[in-house]
Structures are given as structure tokens and as C-alpha cells.
A and B are shown apart, each in its own frame.
Chain A
């Protein structure tokens, strides 16, 4: 690839290293922006948002659980999720149903939250607001199940 074809300029474009043919004919690395990020990252987030909306709707209607939501968002299979949480696939399948979800122990819920890298409370509620520009973050405490939900803006 020629250096000029590899160059992706743009403010705040995620940087990566690529090996190219330089103008003098030598082959070497350059640091450039990501073509994919520059052109398609909005599409990526749109799809994530659609998944979130779809599964929050299903949770609301009692057709899915937050485990299912995060499993879809983080592209994990039941088999992989079971391995990560350290439980059987049969149990994961159970936790994907609202009836099975409510029988889960707090320890297992905490482990799911760790795998998904979200606060435990995110598996029991979704924060919804019509106000834009708010910064919402769950602040950890020394109690692993208790968070301060900080809403600013």
C-alpha cells in the first residue's frame, strides 16, 4: 500500500501503525488514523444502540433479562459467558429468563457484573432521562454491591 493511500487524516481519529510503501520506494511503518473509525464508528454505535433499545424493551415486557442484554452487547455466547462467570451453560440459559434471573445468588450476579465490567446495579436497573448532556456515573464504594449514582450537568 502506498503511503498516500494509507493516510487517514482527521481530528481525534484513532491512531494506528501500518506498514506502507513510502514515496522513496522503501517499506516502513507510519502512524495514521483508522479508516474504519473515521468512516464507520457512528454506524457501530448506532447498531449497539439498536441492540440496547431492543433488549431493554424485551426486559420491560418480561421477555429477556439484563444478562441477555449485556451478552448481546458484548458479543458473548452462552458457552463463553458460562466459562467467564464460572458456572454451567445450563445456569446461564436459566439466567436469561426472568424467572431464572430472580433466583440467582448475589455472588453470581456480582460475577456477571465483573465479566460485563459494569456496576452490579446496572443489572437491576436502567437509567432513563429525557435531559441531554448529563454525566451519569456509578461510583464504587468499599461495599462491592453498593454504588453512588452520580448525576451531574
Chain B
């Protein structure tokens, strides 16, 4: 490899609640569009619920946001942002593409396997092929990485980024990268908000798939009763139960307190559209988020104390079922309000 000159693009590194919404927000802000993370999340209809089991994962799981990549597409479609994206079969060419963009002063976002981002604490690192970050420079054998989960601009060995961009397995990123080539300075944000809200309500209430939306929450509430029979042993069950807390709050797809982020989006939307009804909905969403938080703490304690009696599971299941009812009511009301906006 030819020796590369060190360079740093003046990109403002900030922490965000979640990697995809944060990465997109960072790129748009860099491109001159001062949108907040909750706005990006709401406009792209980021809120969702999905319960699923796949041969790629050792245990059933759930996410509380839309499918990875949809925030990028949602912002692109609804705000008219044009992203250029590419995948590279050849790993060397994939790395050269990043260097070429950096040479032009363009910060470039990549999709990676979280596991190889060794600047993050070891307990955070898990194999997950949907972690987004932005490369903003290089220094010696390392890239400079703006990662929403890192307090500082991070340094990552080229070798680690290569592994992260080409991990194989399900949803292999295959060197996927993207960057905005056109960021409109005055997009019709009001229209984008309306579309984002309507689509979110549709996804939560009317997608004809039992794993998705309110139906997905109900499925989760039923299926959780089967978890004790699916675990390898008590420690395994404890680990999976405690992951509910991770998924609802702390990290990864599904994490970051999405209900709180959506409440913040609705608050900002109410101010932008001058719609007091949305302000009221933002307060309701905050309460829905509080109830999810209670569930996550309940699950974490259950897991820590190995408290796995049927009554405990039944109680957890009922709490989740109540969330389904609350979200059904919430999104039904929100859909009605959305028609009047």
C-alpha cells in the first residue's frame, strides 16, 4: 500500500442516541441542513416494533425501530436528499474508494459489523451487521471515525474497518458506503413530517404481518412465555431476559429509548406545524416510553435475580400486552390527527 497522507475533514463529531439516525443527522448537518436526530427519525418513520426468530440468531429477539437502511431511504425520499452509495466486492477497491472520497474532503458513511469497532467497550461489542459510522479522516494506519456511540472521534485500524465492512453472514454489508451528493437547503420539512407520521401509523397498525407493529408487540407478549423452554440453561435465560433491557434502552437496533426519541420528534413537529394536538401526543408518547422503561428494568431485575417463576413471566407478558394496547390506542389517535395536519 502506498503511504497515505494524514488528513482530517472538519466534521463536527457528536454523540447521538442511535447509529443510523445519528449518522444521517451528522451528514445532513455537515451538508448545511440543520435537522435534529429526532426529526430524522420521525420523518423517516423510524418507530416500529418487530418480533422475530431467525436461524442467524441463537434466540428470538425484537427491535423497536424500522428496518436498517430505511432511515436513509426515508430521508432521501421525503426531503429530496440525494445519497450516492456503493458496494464493493473487491475489499481493496472498497478501501480505495474511502481514501478517494477523503481526498476530496467528503466524509463517508459505512455500514459495518459492530463487533470489530474496537474503540468501543468490550461489553458493547456484538456481531451485528447494521452499525453505521462516518469516516472523516486518516492517520497513519488508522481511519478517523465519527461513531455516534463514541464520546470522542475514534481511531480504527484499517484492518479492523476492513473486517467490519466485510464480515460475511446475514445482511453482509459488502463494503457498503454512502454519502450525500445533494442536500437541499430549504426542503419542505412540513410535508415530510406529515408523511413520516402517516407512514409510522400505517406501519404500526396496518402492516399485514403478525410480527410487525402492534401485532408484533402482542406476539412478543405471548411468545415470551415460551422463552424458558427455549434457553440452554438458567444463565442463558437470564442473559436473554436481560437483553430486553439492552434492546429497549442501551444500544443497538431497537435501543436508544426510541419511544422517547419519537416523543421528542412529535414535540418538535408540533412546534414546526403549530399543531397543539401533536404536543399532547408527544406527552402521551413519553408516558408510553416510561412504561417500556419499567418493563426493561423489571426484566433486568428478573434476569439478575434468576427469578423465573411462571408468575413472573406471566406478569412480564401482561405488561408487554398492555403496551400493545397503549400503542394501538396511541397510533390510532395519531393517525386521526395526522389527517387534519
**Total chain A interface residues with beta-carbon distance under 8 A:** 41
Verify if A136 is at the interface (C-beta below 8 Å from B): no
A14: Cβ under 8 A from any B Cβ: yes
Whether A19 lies near B123 (C-beta < 8 A) is no
Could you tell me which residues of chain B, from 257 to 316, have a CB within 8 Å of some CB in chain A? 257, 260-261, 263-264, 267-268, 282, 286, 289-290, 293, 297, 300, 303-304
The residue that B127 contacts in the complex, of A17, A44, A51, A76, with Cβ under 8 A, is: A76
A108 CB within 8 Å of chain B = no
Minimum CB–CB distance from A26 to chain B (whole Å) comes to: 8
Instruction: Check A115 against B286 for contact (C-beta < 8 Å).
Output: no
- A85 x B267 contact (CB < 8 A): no
Question: What band does the interface of chain B fall in when counting residues whose beta carbon is under 8 Å from A?
Answer: 35 or more
CB 8 Å contact bits of A67-97 with B (1 = contact, 0 = none) = 0000000111101110111100000000000
Most buried by B among A35, A36, A76: A36
A119 to chain B, nearest CB (A): 13
Q: How far is the CA of A17 from the CA of B121 in the complex (A)?
A: 16
Q: Which residues of B contact A44 (CB under 8 A)?
A: 123, 239, 242
Residues of chain A within 8 A of B172, CB atoms compared: 83
Please determine whether A117 and B56 come into contact, CB atoms closer than 8 angstroms: no
CB pair B163–A117 under 8 Å, yes or no, is yes
Known contacts A17-B16, A36-B300, A75-B58; is-contact A1 B250 (Cβ 8 Å): no
Interface of B is mostly: helix
Which of chain B's residues has its CB closest to A31's CB?
B15
Q: Using a CB-CB cutoff of 8 Å, which residues 1-45 of chain A contact chain B?
A: 1, 14-21, 26-29, 31, 34-37, 39-41, 43-45
CA A123 – CA B172 in complex, angstroms? 24
A114 within 8 A of B: yes
Q: Does A137 contact B (CB under 8 A)?
A: no
Let me know if B168 and A115 touch, CB within 8 A.
yes
The verdict on A80 contacting B170 (CB below 8 Å), with A16-B15, A31-B15, A47-B235 known, is yes
Query: With A80-B169, A117-B115 as given contacts, are A19 and B249 in contact (CB-CB < 8 Å)?
Result: no
**Interface contact A18-B127, CB-CB below 8 Å:** no
Query: Are A19 and B15 in contact, CB atoms less than 8 angstroms apart?
Result: no
Q: Tell me, rounded to whole Å, the shortest Cβ–Cβ distance linking A110 to chain B.
A: 12
B271 to nearest A CB, angstroms?
Answer: 10
B17 pairs with A29, CB closer than 8 A:
yes
Residues of B within 8 A of A84 (CB): 127, 167-169
Residues A74 and B115 in contact, CB atoms below 8 Å apart: yes
Q: How far is the CA of A115 from the CA of B172 in the complex (A)?
A: 13
Q: Are B249 and A74 in contact (CB under 8 A)?
A: no
User: How far is A114 from B163 in the complex, measured between Cα atoms in Å?
Assistant: 8
B337 is an interface residue with CB less than 8 A from chain A:
no
Of the candidates B37, B163, B239, B300, the one whose C-beta lies within 8 Å of that of A29 is: B37
B286 touches A34 (CB 8 A): no
Assembled-state Cα–Cα distance A80/B121 (Å): 23
Given A27-B267, A50-B235, CB of A86 within 8 Å of CB of B123 = no
A47 touches B238 (CB 8 A): yes
Other-chain contact of B260, A16, A19, A40 (Cβ < 8 Å): A19
- Checking B127, B151, B282, B286 against A15 with a beta-carbon cut-off of 8 angstroms, the contacting residue is B151
- Name the residue of chain B whose CB is nearest to the CB of A28: B264
Asked if A1 contacts B124 (CB within 8 A), the reply is no
List 15 additional contacts besides A74-B126, A83-B56, A85-B168; criterion CB under 8 Å: A1-B260, A16-B15, A17-B256, A18-B17, A19-B17, A19-B264, A27-B267, A31-B15, A34-B250, A44-B239, A47-B238, A47-B239, A51-B235, A84-B168, A115-B167
A-B contact pairs, 16 of them (CB 8 A): A1-B286, A1-B290, A16-B251, A19-B263, A35-B250, A36-B242, A37-B250, A39-B304, A43-B303, A47-B235, A47-B238, A50-B235, A76-B127, A83-B168, A84-B127, A85-B168
